[in-house]
Structures are given as C-alpha cells and as structure tokens.
Amino acid sequence: MVRIDTRGGAVAASLEDDVRSAVFSICDPEYPGVSIVDLGLLESVEIEGGVVEIGLIPTFSGCPALAMIADDVEAAVLAVDGVCEVSVSWLRSPAWSPGRVSVRGKDALKTEFTVAVQIGTSTPECPLCGGPTVEKSMFGPSRCRSVHRCDACTETIEVMRG
C-alpha cells in the first residue's frame, strides 16, 4: 500500500500506530501471551521517513532473552507497511521497575501464570486468594523474580520485582 502524504502528521501518526501494534504483538519468551509492551519494555519509538528506531529496556541487563526479543521486534516492525529500515536497541536508562507493568500485564501474569508484581517494598498479594505473601527466596528462576508463599492458602508463587 502506498501512503500519500497529504495530511502530514496524520499519516505519520498512523504509521506510528502500526509500528506500536507490531511491537505490541511480541510476547515475552517466558510468558507466552503477555506482550513486552504490557511488561513495560518499550521505551521509545522514533520514525523518520520509513526508518524506525525502537528503544527497549530490559528487566535486568543480563537477561538471556534480549537477543531473541530484539530479533522478534525487528522482524515484526519490518513487516509493517511503510517501514524500510528498523533498528532495535536496548537502552541503559531508564531502569526497568515493576511499576512499568500495565494493568493488563499484571492481570495476565496473575490469572495466566499465578505471578504477582511487587511495587516498591509493598507486600505482594497472592494471585489465587488475595492473601498476604511472605518472601521465601530473593531469587526465583530469574533475576527479576523472587519466590513467595501465601500465608493464607500456602500457594508457592513467583513475584516480579525490581
């Protein structure tokens, strides 16, 4: 489809919308069905002509999924009509924090994966019963997650943390 730039900004905005939804379609490799945008990884989208620059931030810099996520984002954005060049970079700032996870992201983590999100030093709620949880280990299967236990229903849960 050829875009005729008669309305200036409106066309640019629509291309940006398409690029953003392409990025949104990429899920975290460890949470299928949860978009990296809902996890707060997308920081910036810059478009000039058909050249797109995507700035992502990692939950932690040693994350082994970085190359995979960047490859997936690049392929998805490159497939957008009107895009001819894409560069994806992992930014050093700002630092990711659990506050960046969207309401929809928190909801999907809770209902699909029984994972809670810890904001600051608050006590995360059990995704199953809503009870208070106690940290059992600072480290779970990943640097960005700790292991908690629910005081009320004893469920073992993982908590995304900063």
Partner 1 sequence: MAREWKDLAEFEAFLDDGGIVEVDDDMPDEYRNAVFTFIEMHANSEYMGGLTERDWIPKTPGLRHKMSVLAKTQDEIGHGHLLYMVAADMGVKTRTEMLEDLMAGKSRFHNVFHYKAETWGDQVAIAFLVDAAALASQQAVFKNCSYGPYRRILKRIISEEGFHMRLGEDRMMRIAQGTDTQKEIFQGALDRWFWPALQLFGPDSKPNDVLLKWHIKSERNEVLRDKWVQKFVPMLQSYGFTVPAPDLTYDEETKKWDVGPIDWEPLKKTLAQGGPDSARRIGEARSNWERTAWARQALEASTS
Which residue ranges make up the site for partner 1 (CB under 8 A)? 29-32, 62-65, 67-68, 112-115, 136-137, 139-143, 145, 147, 149, 154-156, 158
Residue 50 or residue 162: which is nearer to partner 1 going by CB? 162
- Smallest gap from residue 74 Cβ to partner 1 (A): 16
- Smallest gap from residue 11 Cβ to partner 1 (A): 37
User: DSSP of 97-135, one letter per residue?
Assistant: -GGGS-HHHHHHHHHHH-EEE--TTPPPBPTTT--BEEE
- Smallest gap from residue 65 Cβ to partner 1 (A): 7
The phi, psi pair for 13, rounded to 5°, reads -65, -40
> What are 56's strand-pairing partners?
42, 90
Residue 22 or residue 69: which is nearer to partner 1 going by CB? 69
Q: How far apart are the first and last CA of the chain?
A: 43
Residue 37 or residue 109: which is nearer to partner 1 going by CB? 109
Residue 32 or residue 120: which is nearer to partner 1 going by CB? 32
Do 126 and 116 touch, CB atoms closer than 8 A? yes
Residue 38 or residue 80: which is nearer to partner 1 going by CB? 38
Neighbours of 65 (CB within 10 A): 15
Neighbours of 40 (CB within 10 A): 18
- Smallest gap from residue 135 Cβ to partner 1 (A): 11
- Smallest gap from residue 15 Cβ to partner 1 (A): 30
Do 54 and 21 touch, CB atoms closer than 8 A? no
